């Protein structure tokens, strides 16, 4: 796998999965 691919993949997944997990975490804190 190209290094450019790996970095982009981490960035895109980082934003989406990170955002999802963080908002789930905040949701659990809301209650």
Partner 1 sequence: MNKKESFSRWGIIFAGLGMAVGTGNLWRFPRIVSQYGGGAFMIAWIIFLFVWALPLLTIELAIGKKTRMGVIGSFGKMMGQNFAWMGTFVTFVTAAITFYYTVVTGWCVKYFFATCFQGLIKKEPNQYWEAFQSSWEPVAFHFIAIFIGCSIIYFGVVKGIERANKILIPALLILLLIAVARSVTLPGAVQGLNFLFSPNLSQLGDLKIWLNALSQAAWSTGAGWGLMLTYGVYSRKKENPVLTSTTLGFGDYVASLLAAIVVIPTVFSFFAGQNMAQAKVLEVMQQGNEGLTFKWLPILFSKIPSGSFFLALFFLALCFAAFSSLIAQLELISRIFIDSGLTRKKAVTIVGVGCFLMGLPSAISIGFFNNQDWVWGLGLMVSGAFLIFLVLKVGPRKFREEIISSSDQKIKLGRWFDYLVMFFLPLQMVAMLVWWLWDSYSADPGNWLKIFATTSVGTVLFQWAVAITVFIVFNKVITKKMFREKNGN
Least distance (Å) from partner 1 to the CB of residue 9? Answer: 4
In Å, how far from its chain's centre is CA 9? 10
Length, in residues, of the chain: 31
Q: Which residues bind partner 1 (CB under 8 A)?
A: 1-2, 4-6, 8-9, 12-13, 15-17, 19-20, 23-24, 26-27, 30-31
If DSSP codes are grouped into helix, strand and coil, which group holds residue 26? helix
Q: What's the CA gap between 31 and 28, in Å, rounded?
A: 6
């Amino acid at each position: 796998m190209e290094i450019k691919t790996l970095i982009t993949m981490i960035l895109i997944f980082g934003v989406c999965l990170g955002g999802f997990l963080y908002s789930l975490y905040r949701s659990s804190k809301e209650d």
